[in-house]
Amino acid sequence: MFARSQPRFPTLAAFTQHLAQRDMLQSVAAPVSTHLEATEIHRQVIARQGPALLFENPQNQGGMSASMPLLTNVFGSKERVALGMGCKPEDFKKLGELMAFLRSPKPPKGLRGVIEAWPLAKAALASRPRVAAKNTLQHWPLDLSQLPIQTCWPGDVAPLITWGIVITRPPGPDDPRNYNLGIYRLQVTGKDTAILRWLSMRGGAAHHRLWAQRGERMPVAVVIGADPATILSAVIPTPSDVSELMIAGILGGTRPRLMPCQTLPLKVPASAEIVLEGYAEPHETAEEGPYGDHTGYYNGIEPYPVCRLTRITAKKDPVYMSTFTGRAPDEPAVLSESMNDVFLPLLKQQVPEVEDLWLPPEACSYRIAVLKIKKSYAGQARRAMLAMWSLLPQFTMTKLIITVDEDIDCRSWSDVMWAVATRMDPARDMVILEKTSVDSLDFSSPVEGLGGKLGMDATKKIGAETTRDWPEVLRMPEELVKSVEGRWDELFPHGLKGG
Protein backbone atom coordinates (compact mmCIF):
# COMPACT_ATOMS: atom_id res chain seq x y z
CA MET A 1 0.00 0.00 0.00
CA PHE A 2 1.10 3.58 -0.60
CA ALA A 3 3.33 5.17 2.06
CA ARG A 4 5.25 8.45 1.97
CA SER A 5 8.97 7.88 1.31
CA GLN A 6 10.24 11.43 0.75
CA PRO A 7 10.85 14.34 3.16
CA ARG A 8 7.83 16.29 4.33
CA PHE A 9 7.22 19.68 2.74
CA PRO A 10 4.92 21.66 5.06
CA THR A 11 5.01 24.73 2.81
CA LEU A 12 5.60 25.66 -0.82
CA ALA A 13 8.82 27.37 0.27
CA ALA A 14 10.11 24.14 1.81
CA PHE A 15 9.36 22.32 -1.43
CA THR A 16 11.03 24.88 -3.69
CA GLN A 17 14.05 24.96 -1.39
CA HIS A 18 14.33 21.19 -1.77
CA LEU A 19 14.05 21.55 -5.56
CA ALA A 20 16.77 24.20 -5.55
CA GLN A 21 19.10 21.93 -3.58
CA ARG A 22 18.62 19.23 -6.22
CA ASP A 23 19.08 21.64 -9.18
CA MET A 24 15.40 21.34 -10.06
CA LEU A 25 14.67 25.05 -9.71
CA GLN A 26 16.15 27.97 -11.66
CA SER A 27 15.87 31.57 -10.48
CA VAL A 28 15.55 34.28 -13.13
CA ALA A 29 16.72 37.71 -11.95
CA ALA A 30 16.09 39.56 -15.24
CA PRO A 31 12.75 41.36 -15.65
CA VAL A 32 10.13 39.15 -17.34
CA SER A 33 6.71 40.29 -18.51
CA THR A 34 3.64 38.42 -17.27
CA HIS A 35 2.06 39.28 -20.64
CA LEU A 36 3.03 36.32 -22.92
CA GLU A 37 6.77 36.38 -22.19
CA ALA A 38 6.67 34.28 -19.01
CA THR A 39 4.55 31.73 -20.86
CA GLU A 40 6.94 31.49 -23.78
CA ILE A 41 9.95 31.05 -21.47
CA HIS A 42 8.04 28.37 -19.56
CA ARG A 43 6.99 26.71 -22.82
CA GLN A 44 10.56 26.44 -24.11
CA VAL A 45 11.92 25.26 -20.75
CA ILE A 46 9.36 22.47 -20.30
CA ALA A 47 9.99 21.35 -23.91
CA ARG A 48 13.63 20.90 -22.85
CA GLN A 49 12.50 18.98 -19.73
CA GLY A 50 13.90 21.83 -17.67
CA PRO A 51 13.50 22.93 -14.04
CA ALA A 52 10.90 24.87 -12.14
CA LEU A 53 11.25 28.63 -12.70
CA LEU A 54 11.21 31.43 -10.15
CA PHE A 55 10.87 34.81 -11.85
CA GLU A 56 12.19 37.21 -9.23
CA ASN A 57 11.19 40.39 -11.06
CA PRO A 58 7.91 39.81 -12.95
CA GLN A 59 6.54 42.83 -14.79
CA ASN A 60 2.80 43.34 -15.17
CA GLN A 61 1.28 45.11 -18.15
CA GLY A 62 2.52 48.68 -18.37
CA GLY A 63 5.96 47.68 -17.07
CA MET A 64 4.95 47.85 -13.41
CA SER A 65 6.86 45.50 -11.13
CA ALA A 66 4.60 42.95 -9.45
CA SER A 67 4.52 42.80 -5.67
CA MET A 68 5.89 39.25 -5.44
CA PRO A 69 7.88 36.61 -7.41
CA LEU A 70 6.22 34.37 -10.00
CA LEU A 71 6.74 30.59 -9.72
CA THR A 72 6.04 28.34 -12.72
CA ASN A 73 6.76 24.83 -14.04
CA VAL A 74 6.70 23.41 -10.50
CA PHE A 75 5.21 20.11 -11.68
CA GLY A 76 6.77 20.10 -15.14
CA SER A 77 8.34 16.64 -14.71
CA LYS A 78 7.12 13.29 -13.36
CA GLU A 79 9.95 13.33 -10.83
CA ARG A 80 8.76 16.65 -9.36
CA VAL A 81 5.15 15.43 -9.33
CA ALA A 82 6.28 12.35 -7.40
CA LEU A 83 8.31 14.47 -4.96
CA GLY A 84 5.23 16.61 -4.35
CA MET A 85 3.28 13.44 -3.53
CA GLY A 86 6.05 12.26 -1.22
CA CYS A 87 7.03 9.26 -3.32
CA LYS A 88 8.96 8.10 -6.39
CA PRO A 89 7.46 7.78 -9.90
CA GLU A 90 7.41 4.01 -9.57
CA ASP A 91 5.09 4.38 -6.55
CA PHE A 92 2.23 5.95 -8.56
CA LYS A 93 0.60 2.53 -8.95
CA LYS A 94 0.61 2.08 -5.16
CA LEU A 95 -1.15 5.42 -4.87
CA GLY A 96 -3.67 4.19 -7.43
CA GLU A 97 -4.19 1.04 -5.36
CA LEU A 98 -4.94 3.26 -2.38
CA MET A 99 -7.47 5.25 -4.44
CA ALA A 100 -9.06 1.98 -5.58
CA PHE A 101 -9.31 0.77 -1.99
CA LEU A 102 -10.88 4.03 -0.84
CA ARG A 103 -13.34 3.83 -3.72
CA SER A 104 -14.53 0.34 -2.73
CA PRO A 105 -13.04 -0.65 0.63
CA LYS A 106 -13.09 -4.32 1.60
CA PRO A 107 -12.91 -5.72 5.13
CA PRO A 108 -9.52 -7.33 5.90
CA LYS A 109 -9.38 -11.13 5.84
CA GLY A 110 -7.63 -12.79 8.74
CA LEU A 111 -4.79 -11.50 10.88
CA ARG A 112 -2.57 -10.81 7.88
CA GLY A 113 -5.28 -8.69 6.28
CA VAL A 114 -5.68 -6.68 9.49
CA ILE A 115 -1.92 -6.11 9.67
CA GLU A 116 -1.77 -5.03 6.03
CA ALA A 117 -4.74 -2.70 6.43
CA TRP A 118 -3.47 -1.11 9.64
CA PRO A 119 -1.07 1.43 8.01
CA LEU A 120 -3.93 2.66 5.81
CA ALA A 121 -6.31 2.97 8.74
CA LYS A 122 -3.61 4.77 10.73
CA ALA A 123 -2.95 7.13 7.82
CA ALA A 124 -6.68 7.85 7.43
CA LEU A 125 -7.02 8.70 11.12
CA ALA A 126 -3.90 10.84 10.99
CA SER A 127 -5.23 12.77 7.99
CA ARG A 128 -8.12 14.42 9.85
CA PRO A 129 -7.71 18.20 9.57
CA ARG A 130 -6.57 20.29 12.52
CA VAL A 131 -8.09 23.77 12.69
CA ALA A 132 -6.13 26.70 14.05
CA ALA A 133 -8.03 29.30 16.03
CA LYS A 134 -6.51 32.24 14.16
CA ASN A 135 -5.77 33.28 10.58
CA THR A 136 -2.11 34.39 10.41
CA LEU A 137 -2.14 35.88 6.90
CA GLN A 138 -1.68 39.58 6.30
CA HIS A 139 -4.40 41.82 4.90
CA TRP A 140 -3.54 43.01 1.37
CA PRO A 141 -5.24 45.70 -0.72
CA LEU A 142 -8.33 44.37 -2.49
CA ASP A 143 -6.73 44.68 -5.92
CA LEU A 144 -5.96 41.70 -8.19
CA SER A 145 -3.78 43.88 -10.44
CA GLN A 146 -1.03 43.80 -7.80
CA LEU A 147 -0.52 40.07 -8.38
CA PRO A 148 1.68 38.76 -11.24
CA ILE A 149 -1.30 37.15 -12.99
CA GLN A 150 -0.31 35.91 -16.44
CA THR A 151 -1.81 36.57 -19.83
CA CYS A 152 -0.67 33.34 -21.46
CA TRP A 153 -1.65 33.58 -25.15
CA PRO A 154 -2.07 36.49 -27.61
CA GLY A 155 -5.82 35.90 -27.99
CA ASP A 156 -6.58 35.62 -24.26
CA VAL A 157 -9.26 38.10 -23.30
CA ALA A 158 -7.77 39.02 -19.88
CA PRO A 159 -5.23 37.86 -17.27
CA LEU A 160 -6.02 34.37 -15.98
CA ILE A 161 -5.47 32.71 -12.60
CA THR A 162 -4.44 29.17 -13.55
CA TRP A 163 -3.23 27.32 -10.42
CA GLY A 164 -5.89 28.44 -7.95
CA ILE A 165 -7.21 25.79 -5.56
CA VAL A 166 -10.89 26.68 -5.38
CA ILE A 167 -12.41 25.60 -2.06
CA THR A 168 -16.19 25.27 -1.80
CA ARG A 169 -18.73 23.52 0.41
CA PRO A 170 -22.45 22.70 0.29
CA PRO A 171 -25.02 24.75 2.24
CA GLY A 172 -25.31 23.93 5.91
CA PRO A 173 -22.76 23.70 8.72
CA ASP A 174 -19.14 24.50 7.89
CA ASP A 175 -17.63 21.00 7.94
CA PRO A 176 -14.24 20.50 6.21
CA ARG A 177 -15.18 16.88 5.53
CA ASN A 178 -17.64 18.20 2.94
CA TYR A 179 -15.19 20.53 1.22
CA ASN A 180 -14.31 20.26 -2.44
CA LEU A 181 -10.86 21.30 -3.61
CA GLY A 182 -10.58 21.78 -7.36
CA ILE A 183 -8.19 23.46 -9.77
CA TYR A 184 -10.44 25.83 -11.72
CA ARG A 185 -9.33 28.83 -13.74
CA LEU A 186 -10.48 32.36 -12.94
CA GLN A 187 -10.74 35.18 -15.46
CA VAL A 188 -9.86 38.54 -13.91
CA THR A 189 -12.59 41.08 -14.75
CA GLY A 190 -11.75 43.83 -12.27
CA LYS A 191 -9.78 44.65 -9.15
CA ASP A 192 -12.15 42.58 -7.01
CA THR A 193 -14.12 40.44 -9.49
CA ALA A 194 -13.43 37.25 -11.42
CA ILE A 195 -15.29 34.57 -13.36
CA LEU A 196 -15.16 30.97 -12.10
CA ARG A 197 -14.93 28.37 -14.85
CA TRP A 198 -15.64 24.73 -14.08
CA LEU A 199 -17.12 21.73 -15.86
CA SER A 200 -20.66 20.89 -14.75
CA MET A 201 -19.54 17.47 -13.45
CA ARG A 202 -17.02 18.95 -11.01
CA GLY A 203 -17.58 19.28 -7.27
CA GLY A 204 -17.41 23.07 -7.22
CA ALA A 205 -20.14 23.31 -9.85
CA ALA A 206 -22.33 20.84 -7.91
CA HIS A 207 -21.95 22.93 -4.74
CA HIS A 208 -22.82 26.12 -6.63
CA ARG A 209 -26.04 24.56 -7.95
CA LEU A 210 -27.08 23.74 -4.37
CA TRP A 211 -26.51 27.32 -3.21
CA ALA A 212 -28.20 28.74 -6.32
CA GLN A 213 -31.30 26.63 -5.65
CA ARG A 214 -31.58 28.46 -2.32
CA GLY A 215 -30.94 31.82 -3.99
CA GLU A 216 -27.85 32.31 -1.82
CA ARG A 217 -24.29 33.33 -2.56
CA MET A 218 -21.73 30.54 -2.20
CA PRO A 219 -18.60 31.24 -0.13
CA VAL A 220 -15.49 30.62 -2.21
CA ALA A 221 -11.83 30.67 -1.19
CA VAL A 222 -9.13 30.55 -3.85
CA VAL A 223 -5.74 29.43 -2.56
CA ILE A 224 -2.78 30.33 -4.79
CA GLY A 225 0.25 28.36 -3.63
CA ALA A 226 0.26 25.86 -0.75
CA ASP A 227 2.17 22.78 0.36
CA PRO A 228 2.56 20.37 -2.59
CA ALA A 229 0.45 17.60 -1.03
CA THR A 230 -2.54 19.94 -0.79
CA ILE A 231 -2.05 21.23 -4.34
CA LEU A 232 -1.83 17.75 -5.83
CA SER A 233 -4.75 16.40 -3.79
CA ALA A 234 -6.93 18.66 -5.97
CA VAL A 235 -5.58 16.89 -9.10
CA ILE A 236 -5.75 13.22 -8.08
CA PRO A 237 -8.93 11.26 -9.06
CA THR A 238 -10.39 11.23 -5.56
CA PRO A 239 -13.42 8.99 -4.85
CA SER A 240 -16.57 11.10 -4.60
CA ASP A 241 -17.11 10.39 -0.90
CA VAL A 242 -13.48 11.03 0.11
CA SER A 243 -12.34 14.58 0.84
CA GLU A 244 -9.33 15.96 -0.98
CA LEU A 245 -8.15 17.14 2.44
CA MET A 246 -7.94 13.52 3.56
CA ILE A 247 -5.83 12.71 0.51
CA ALA A 248 -3.65 15.74 1.29
CA GLY A 249 -3.07 14.32 4.76
CA ILE A 250 -2.14 10.89 3.41
CA LEU A 251 0.21 12.39 0.81
CA GLY A 252 1.71 14.86 3.26
CA GLY A 253 2.18 12.27 5.99
CA THR A 254 0.59 14.54 8.59
CA ARG A 255 -2.77 16.00 9.56
CA PRO A 256 -3.69 18.93 7.30
CA ARG A 257 -3.66 22.27 9.11
CA LEU A 258 -6.53 24.63 8.36
CA MET A 259 -7.28 28.17 9.45
CA PRO A 260 -10.48 30.21 9.24
CA CYS A 261 -11.03 32.74 6.49
CA GLN A 262 -11.27 36.34 7.61
CA THR A 263 -14.57 37.21 5.87
CA LEU A 264 -16.11 33.82 4.98
CA PRO A 265 -17.61 30.83 6.83
CA LEU A 266 -14.90 28.67 5.29
CA LYS A 267 -11.45 27.37 6.18
CA VAL A 268 -8.28 27.22 4.09
CA PRO A 269 -4.93 25.38 4.34
CA ALA A 270 -2.61 27.09 6.81
CA SER A 271 0.20 26.67 4.26
CA ALA A 272 -1.52 29.01 1.79
CA GLU A 273 0.69 31.64 0.16
CA ILE A 274 -2.21 33.81 -1.06
CA VAL A 275 -5.95 33.54 -0.38
CA LEU A 276 -8.72 35.23 -2.32
CA GLU A 277 -11.94 35.31 -0.29
CA GLY A 278 -15.27 35.98 -1.93
CA TYR A 279 -18.73 34.83 -2.91
CA ALA A 280 -20.00 33.24 -6.13
CA GLU A 281 -23.30 34.89 -7.00
CA PRO A 282 -26.25 32.46 -7.26
CA HIS A 283 -27.53 33.54 -10.68
CA GLU A 284 -25.17 36.22 -11.99
CA THR A 285 -22.94 35.04 -14.82
CA ALA A 286 -20.55 36.70 -17.24
CA GLU A 287 -19.00 35.70 -20.56
CA GLU A 288 -15.73 33.83 -19.94
CA GLY A 289 -13.03 33.49 -22.58
CA PRO A 290 -11.64 33.05 -25.09
CA TYR A 291 -8.49 31.44 -23.66
CA GLY A 292 -5.80 29.18 -25.04
CA ASP A 293 -6.40 25.69 -23.72
CA HIS A 294 -4.88 22.21 -23.49
CA THR A 295 -6.39 21.30 -26.86
CA GLY A 296 -4.00 23.67 -28.61
CA TYR A 297 -6.89 25.95 -29.60
CA TYR A 298 -8.69 28.89 -28.05
CA ASN A 299 -11.87 27.82 -26.31
CA GLY A 300 -15.19 29.52 -26.99
CA ILE A 301 -16.99 32.16 -24.96
CA GLU A 302 -19.46 30.81 -22.39
CA PRO A 303 -21.29 32.17 -19.32
CA TYR A 304 -19.95 31.18 -15.90
CA PRO A 305 -20.59 32.39 -12.32
CA VAL A 306 -19.26 35.75 -11.17
CA CYS A 307 -17.16 35.78 -8.00
CA ARG A 308 -16.97 39.01 -5.97
CA LEU A 309 -13.96 39.22 -3.66
CA THR A 310 -14.24 40.39 -0.07
CA ARG A 311 -10.58 40.15 0.91
CA ILE A 312 -7.08 39.27 -0.28
CA THR A 313 -4.63 37.90 2.28
CA ALA A 314 -1.09 36.60 1.93
CA LYS A 315 2.02 35.56 3.79
CA LYS A 316 4.66 38.14 4.63
CA ASP A 317 6.78 37.26 1.58
CA PRO A 318 4.42 35.33 -0.70
CA VAL A 319 5.15 33.63 -4.00
CA TYR A 320 2.55 33.57 -6.78
CA MET A 321 2.29 30.10 -8.36
CA SER A 322 1.11 29.90 -11.96
CA THR A 323 1.25 27.88 -15.17
CA PHE A 324 -0.06 27.88 -18.72
CA THR A 325 -2.16 25.41 -20.66
CA GLY A 326 -1.64 24.63 -24.31
CA ARG A 327 -0.71 21.85 -26.64
CA ALA A 328 1.64 19.36 -24.95
CA PRO A 329 4.20 19.61 -23.52
CA ASP A 330 2.73 21.61 -20.67
CA GLU A 331 2.20 20.96 -16.96
CA PRO A 332 -1.32 19.51 -17.40
CA ALA A 333 0.14 16.97 -19.86
CA VAL A 334 2.86 15.99 -17.36
CA LEU A 335 0.26 15.63 -14.61
CA SER A 336 -1.93 13.57 -16.92
CA GLU A 337 0.99 11.29 -17.75
CA SER A 338 1.75 10.92 -14.04
CA MET A 339 -1.89 10.11 -13.27
CA ASN A 340 -1.78 7.31 -15.87
CA ASP A 341 -0.41 4.87 -13.30
CA VAL A 342 -2.80 6.17 -10.64
CA PHE A 343 -5.78 5.46 -12.90
CA LEU A 344 -4.63 1.90 -13.72
CA PRO A 345 -5.50 0.21 -10.37
CA LEU A 346 -8.90 1.97 -10.38
CA LEU A 347 -9.59 0.52 -13.81
CA LYS A 348 -8.30 -2.94 -12.90
CA GLN A 349 -10.57 -2.96 -9.85
CA GLN A 350 -13.63 -2.71 -12.10
CA VAL A 351 -12.24 -4.64 -15.09
CA PRO A 352 -9.83 -7.30 -13.73
CA GLU A 353 -8.69 -8.40 -17.20
CA VAL A 354 -7.01 -5.03 -17.77
CA GLU A 355 -3.23 -5.42 -17.82
CA ASP A 356 -2.09 -1.88 -18.61
CA LEU A 357 -3.31 1.55 -19.69
CA TRP A 358 -1.63 4.34 -21.66
CA LEU A 359 -2.94 7.87 -21.96
CA PRO A 360 -0.64 9.48 -24.55
CA PRO A 361 0.34 12.95 -23.24
CA GLU A 362 0.05 14.41 -26.74
CA ALA A 363 -3.66 13.52 -26.77
CA CYS A 364 -4.89 16.51 -24.73
CA SER A 365 -5.50 14.91 -21.34
CA TYR A 366 -7.43 11.64 -21.67
CA ARG A 367 -8.76 12.15 -25.23
CA ILE A 368 -7.08 8.91 -26.44
CA ALA A 369 -6.42 5.76 -24.42
CA VAL A 370 -4.74 2.46 -25.25
CA LEU A 371 -6.01 -0.42 -23.16
CA LYS A 372 -4.19 -3.75 -22.80
CA ILE A 373 -6.28 -6.71 -21.70
CA LYS A 374 -5.85 -10.42 -21.05
CA LYS A 375 -8.44 -11.72 -23.46
CA SER A 376 -10.25 -15.01 -22.86
CA TYR A 377 -13.67 -14.74 -24.55
CA ALA A 378 -15.37 -13.16 -27.53
CA GLY A 379 -16.64 -9.61 -27.02
CA GLN A 380 -14.32 -8.97 -24.08
CA ALA A 381 -12.56 -6.01 -25.72
CA ARG A 382 -15.89 -4.21 -26.18
CA ARG A 383 -16.86 -4.84 -22.58
CA ALA A 384 -13.56 -3.39 -21.35
CA MET A 385 -13.95 -0.25 -23.46
CA LEU A 386 -17.52 0.38 -22.31
CA ALA A 387 -16.46 -0.15 -18.69
CA MET A 388 -13.65 2.38 -19.00
CA TRP A 389 -15.92 5.05 -20.48
CA SER A 390 -18.30 4.71 -17.53
CA LEU A 391 -15.74 4.50 -14.70
CA LEU A 392 -14.54 8.06 -13.95
CA PRO A 393 -15.60 11.57 -14.97
CA GLN A 394 -12.19 12.01 -16.63
CA PHE A 395 -12.90 9.12 -18.99
CA THR A 396 -16.06 10.72 -20.31
CA MET A 397 -13.58 12.92 -22.21
CA THR A 398 -11.88 9.89 -23.79
CA LYS A 399 -13.22 9.70 -27.32
CA LEU A 400 -10.91 7.02 -28.74
CA ILE A 401 -9.96 3.75 -27.02
CA ILE A 402 -7.71 1.22 -28.75
CA THR A 403 -7.77 -2.20 -27.09
CA VAL A 404 -4.83 -4.57 -27.58
CA ASP A 405 -3.72 -8.01 -26.39
CA GLU A 406 -1.30 -8.73 -23.55
CA ASP A 407 1.56 -9.45 -25.99
CA ILE A 408 1.45 -5.81 -27.17
CA ASP A 409 3.29 -2.99 -25.42
CA CYS A 410 0.39 -0.56 -25.16
CA ARG A 411 2.81 2.33 -24.47
CA SER A 412 4.61 1.86 -27.77
CA TRP A 413 2.97 3.39 -30.86
CA SER A 414 5.00 0.96 -32.99
CA ASP A 415 3.40 -2.02 -31.26
CA VAL A 416 -0.05 -0.45 -31.12
CA MET A 417 -0.11 0.52 -34.79
CA TRP A 418 1.05 -2.98 -35.76
CA ALA A 419 -1.86 -4.42 -33.77
CA VAL A 420 -4.31 -1.98 -35.41
CA ALA A 421 -2.96 -2.84 -38.87
CA THR A 422 -3.04 -6.62 -38.42
CA ARG A 423 -5.76 -7.41 -35.85
CA MET A 424 -8.53 -4.89 -36.55
CA ASP A 425 -11.13 -5.08 -39.28
CA PRO A 426 -12.94 -1.70 -39.62
CA ALA A 427 -16.30 -3.22 -40.52
CA ARG A 428 -16.32 -5.63 -37.57
CA ASP A 429 -14.12 -4.11 -34.87
CA MET A 430 -15.27 -0.51 -34.57
CA VAL A 431 -17.50 0.51 -31.64
CA ILE A 432 -19.18 3.86 -32.34
CA LEU A 433 -21.24 5.67 -29.70
CA GLU A 434 -23.29 8.75 -30.47
CA LYS A 435 -24.53 11.67 -28.37
CA THR A 436 -22.33 10.96 -25.35
CA SER A 437 -20.81 13.44 -22.89
CA VAL A 438 -17.57 14.99 -24.11
CA ASP A 439 -15.37 17.89 -23.08
CA SER A 440 -17.13 21.17 -23.85
CA LEU A 441 -13.75 22.44 -25.10
CA ASP A 442 -13.72 19.82 -27.87
CA PHE A 443 -14.65 21.79 -30.96
CA SER A 444 -14.66 18.65 -33.13
CA SER A 445 -18.00 17.60 -31.60
CA PRO A 446 -21.08 18.83 -33.51
CA VAL A 447 -22.80 20.06 -30.33
CA GLU A 448 -21.10 21.58 -27.30
CA GLY A 449 -20.60 18.94 -24.61
CA LEU A 450 -22.16 16.17 -26.69
CA GLY A 451 -20.30 14.02 -29.19
CA GLY A 452 -19.27 10.55 -30.30
CA LYS A 453 -16.81 7.96 -29.10
CA LEU A 454 -14.85 5.37 -31.05
CA GLY A 455 -13.55 2.05 -29.81
CA MET A 456 -11.10 0.00 -31.87
CA ASP A 457 -10.78 -3.69 -31.04
CA ALA A 458 -7.20 -4.44 -32.08
CA THR A 459 -7.08 -7.79 -30.28
CA LYS A 460 -6.70 -11.21 -31.88
CA LYS A 461 -10.13 -12.56 -32.70
CA ILE A 462 -11.35 -15.70 -30.96
CA GLY A 463 -14.52 -17.79 -30.77
CA ALA A 464 -17.57 -16.27 -32.43
CA GLU A 465 -15.58 -13.19 -33.48
CA THR A 466 -14.11 -14.91 -36.54
CA THR A 467 -14.46 -17.98 -38.79
CA ARG A 468 -10.76 -18.06 -39.64
CA ASP A 469 -7.81 -19.60 -37.80
CA TRP A 470 -5.52 -16.94 -36.34
CA PRO A 471 -1.94 -17.14 -37.67
CA GLU A 472 1.11 -17.67 -35.49
CA VAL A 473 3.15 -14.59 -34.56
CA LEU A 474 6.76 -14.55 -35.80
CA ARG A 475 9.21 -15.04 -32.93
CA MET A 476 12.81 -16.10 -32.60
CA PRO A 477 13.68 -18.57 -29.82
CA GLU A 478 14.46 -16.62 -26.65
CA GLU A 479 17.71 -18.55 -26.19
CA LEU A 480 18.92 -17.43 -29.62
CA VAL A 481 18.02 -13.79 -28.93
CA LYS A 482 20.05 -13.85 -25.70
CA SER A 483 22.90 -15.71 -27.40
CA VAL A 484 23.24 -13.06 -30.10
CA GLU A 485 23.06 -10.28 -27.52
CA GLY A 486 25.85 -12.01 -25.58
CA ARG A 487 28.06 -12.21 -28.70
CA TRP A 488 27.51 -8.60 -29.77
CA ASP A 489 31.01 -7.35 -28.83
CA GLU A 490 32.56 -10.42 -30.47
CA LEU A 491 30.61 -9.92 -33.67
CA PHE A 492 31.22 -6.18 -33.84
CA PRO A 493 34.45 -5.49 -31.88
CA HIS A 494 34.76 -1.99 -33.36
CA GLY A 495 31.12 -1.14 -32.94
CA LEU A 496 28.32 -1.17 -35.48
CA LYS A 497 28.77 1.20 -38.41
CA GLY A 498 26.11 3.71 -39.29
CA GLY A 499 23.69 3.17 -42.18
Which active-site residues does the annotation give?
Answer: 293
Instruction: For the beta carbon of residue 77, count every other beta carbon within 10 angstroms.
Output: 21
DSSP H helices, 22-77, are 37-47
Burial class (CB in 10 A: 0-12, 13-18, 19+), 399: buried
Q: Report how far residue 312's alpha carbon sits from residue 442's, in angstroms, rounded to the nearest whole number.
A: 34
Burial class (CB in 10 A: 0-12, 13-18, 19+), 454: middle
Q: Report how far residue 490's alpha carbon sits from residue 336's, in angstroms, rounded to the nearest whole number.
A: 44
What amino acid occupies position 224?
I
Q: CA 156: distance to chain centroid?
A: 22
Q: Report how far residue 448's alpha carbon sits from residue 439's, in angstroms, rounded to the nearest whole number.
A: 8
- Residue pair 288/302 in contact (Cβ under 8 Å)? The answer is yes
- Computed from CA positions of residues 152, 155, 161, 163, in that sequence, does the dihedral angle turn out positive or negative? negative
- Residue pair 192/279 in contact (Cβ under 8 Å)? The answer is no
- What is the DSSP track for 457-480? E-SPP-GGG-SSPPPPPP---HHH
| Residue among 107, 105, 233, 106 at smallest CA distance from 176 | 233
Burial class (CB in 10 A: 0-12, 13-18, 19+), 160: buried
Contacts of 354 by beta carbon, 8 Å cutoff, 6+ apart = 344, 347, 348, 371, 372, 373, 384
> What is the chain's length?
499
Q: Give CA separation, 182 vs 201, 232, 359, in Å.
A: 12, 10, 22
R_g (Cα) of the chain, nearest Å: 25
